[in-house]
């Protein structure tokens, strides 16, 4: 797998506005926010795409999504609500080939998404 900007953020060689970290994940603010709150959550155990989740340990996946929920709670988003987005592959517009979830909030989000 080639190195991505998220590898560098995780390693600490590229600065990021970190909002949460535990043994499984790191969360930081998106550099080009699409909503007033736009946070990215990455697993420390790297893989490139959501597609690969099917062949990864189920406990790892459970811990990842549990952490995404904790990040949203820590940002006080539970009462207002938020959206979790995962882009997978070319048609989704996935730019960074390091699996990640977007947490978006701080405004009423449109549905359907574009």
The residues that touch ligand 5GP, with contacts defined as CB under 6 A, are 5, 14, 16, 28, 30-32, 40, 87, 93-96
Question: Which of 2, 38, 100, 102 is labelled catalytic?
Answer: 100
Give the separation between CA 61 and CA 100, rounded to whole angstroms. 12
Residue whose structure tokens are 């207002």: 80
Nearest distance in Å: CB 76, ligand 5GP: 20
Specify whether 38 is catalytic: no
Nearest distance in Å: CB 33, ligand 5GP: 8
Nearest distance in Å: CB 98, ligand 5GP: 8
Beta strands in 10-96 (DSSP E): 18-21, 25-29, 37-43, 83-85
Nearer Cβ to ligand 5GP, position 93 or 114?
Answer: 93
Residues found in the chain: 114
Residue 55: partners with Cβ closer than 8 Å, 6 or more residues away? none
Nearer Cβ to ligand 5GP, position 40 or 77?
Answer: 40
């Amino acid at each position: 797998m080639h190195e991505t900007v998220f590898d560098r953020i995780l390693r600490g060689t590229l600065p990021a506005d970190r909002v949460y970290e535990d043994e499984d994940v790191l969360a930081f603010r998106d550099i080009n926010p699409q909503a007033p709150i736009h946070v990215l959550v990455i697993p420390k155990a790297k893989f490139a795409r959501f597609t690969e989740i099917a062949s990864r340990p189920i406990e790892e996946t459970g811990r990842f999504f549990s952490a995404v929920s904790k990040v949203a709670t820590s940002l006080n988003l539970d009462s207002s609500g938020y959206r979790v987005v995962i882009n997978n592959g070319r048609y989704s517009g996935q730019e960074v080939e390091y699996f990640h979830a977007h947490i978006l909030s701080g405004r009423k989000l449109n549905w359907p998404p574009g």
